[in-house]
Amino acid sequence: MSKYGIPPLADTSATYADEDYIDLGNKIAKQLDLLRQPNGWNLTNSGDEHCTIYTRKNGLPEAKENMLLLTTEMPAPLFVVEKLLAPWGNYRLLWDDLLDDIAVLATMPEETYIVHHLVKKRITLSVRESVDLVQVHRSHNRVMFASCGTSHGSTPATRNYTRTHQYIGGYILDVVSDTSTRVTMIFHADLNLPGPKIMTSLADRFKPKLMLDNARALRSGIKKYQDDIIANLKDKDQRVANGVTA
C-alpha cells in the first residue's frame, strides 16, 4: 500500500531551512497529483446534492484513520475560489467558520508558506491548532494548494491547545468554465482525539461532516464575496487575465 504525507513530528519547536520546507511542499504536491486520480478511492454515502466523498487507506504506519477526498463544482471562476481559499488573503476568515484565526509564520520562494491555524471549539472537539506548510502550484487551468503538518520555532505546541497533525491535504481547483470551478479537497489528519480505537471510529464518521461543512461554507462565501473580489481586481489587464469582461 502506498504511503502518503508525513508522520507527526517529534519536535514541534524545530525550524528548518527554507529549501527543506520547499522540497517538502514539492513532494506533497506530487503526491496530491497522484491522489486526485479516481483509482484507489471508494465511494461513501456521506455526500450531499453538491458534494461526493470518497475514502481510502494510507500505507503510512502512523496514520490509523482513512484519507478522504471530496469533489464538488463551485459557481465561480477559478480566481475567485483561489482568493477565498488562500490562508494569507483577506477572505478566508470571513467565510470559513471552522477557523478562529490564521497567522502566516514564514513566507518563502515558490509560493511556500508556514501557516498557523487555530480551529474553533465545537461540541465534539475542544479548541485545536496546527502548524502547516502550504505551497501553491499553478498549471494550465489549475491551481493546487498542497499542504501538510510541519513545525516552526515561533509556535511550538503548548498545553493551551490540542496540536493536530495533517499527514497530507489540500485543495485542487480546475477550470470548468468562465463561471465554474471544480474543487477537489483531500483531507487526512490526526485530530489528536483521546481514548481507544472507538475514538478513531468516531473520527472516521466526524471528518466527512467537517469536509461537507467546509464546502458548504465556501459555497456561501462565494455568494457573499464574489462580486467584491471581482470589483477589487486592480486594473484592466488583471480583469482580462481572469476572464472578467464587464
Task: Give the Cα separation of 229 and 233 in Å (integer).
Answer: 7
pLDDT for residue 135: 98
Q: For residue 8, is it within any domain?
A: no
Residue pair 92/115 in contact by the 8 Å Cβ criterion: no
Q: Is 73 exposed, middle or buried (0-12, 13-18, 19+ CB in 10 A)?
A: middle
User: pTM to 2 decimals?
Assistant: 0.92
Task: Give the Cα separation of 244 and 165 in Å (integer).
Answer: 39
CATH number at residue 181: 3.30.530.20
Q: For residue 42, is it within any domain?
A: yes
- Supply the range of the domain harboring residue 73: 18-234
Task: Give the Cα separation of 113 and 125 in Å (integer).
Answer: 27
Among 69, 188, 194, 70, CA closest to 125: 194
- The pLDDT > 90 percentage for the chain reads 76
Task: Give the Cα separation of 142 and 204 in Å (integer).
Answer: 29
Question: Helices (DSSP H) in the chain: which residue ranges?
Answer: 18-35, 78-85, 92-95, 197-231, 236-241
Q: For residue 86, is it within any domain?
A: yes
pLDDT for residue 122: 74
Task: Write the DSSP symbol of residue 64.
Answer: -
pLDDT for residue 200: 56
Q: For residue 2, is it within any domain?
A: no
pLDDT digits (tens, 9 = 90+) for 158-198: 888 899 999 999 999 999 999 999 999 999 999 887 665 55
pLDDT for residue 129: 95
Q: For residue 243, is it within any domain?
A: no
- In three-state form (DSSP H/G/I as H, E/B as E, the rest C), the secondary structure along 114-142 is EEEEEECCECCECCEEEEEEEEEEEECCE
Domain total for the chain?
1
- Number of other residues whose CB lies within 10 A of the CB of residue 165: 24
Q: For residue 207, is it within any domain?
A: yes
Task: Give the Cα separation of 81 and 129 in Å (integer).
Answer: 24
Instruction: State the pLDDT confidence band at 203, using cuts at 50, 70 and 90.
Output: low
Whether residue 72 is predicted with pLDDT greater than 80 in this model: the reply is yes
pLDDT digits (tens, 9 = 90+) for 83-131: 999 999 899 999 999 999 999 999 999 999 999 999 988 756 778 999 9
Question: Helices (DSSP H) in 36-163: which residue ranges?
Answer: 78-85, 92-95
Q: For residue 5, is it within any domain?
A: no
Task: Give the Cα separation of 219 and 139 in Å (integer).
Answer: 24
Q: For residue 180, is it within any domain?
A: yes
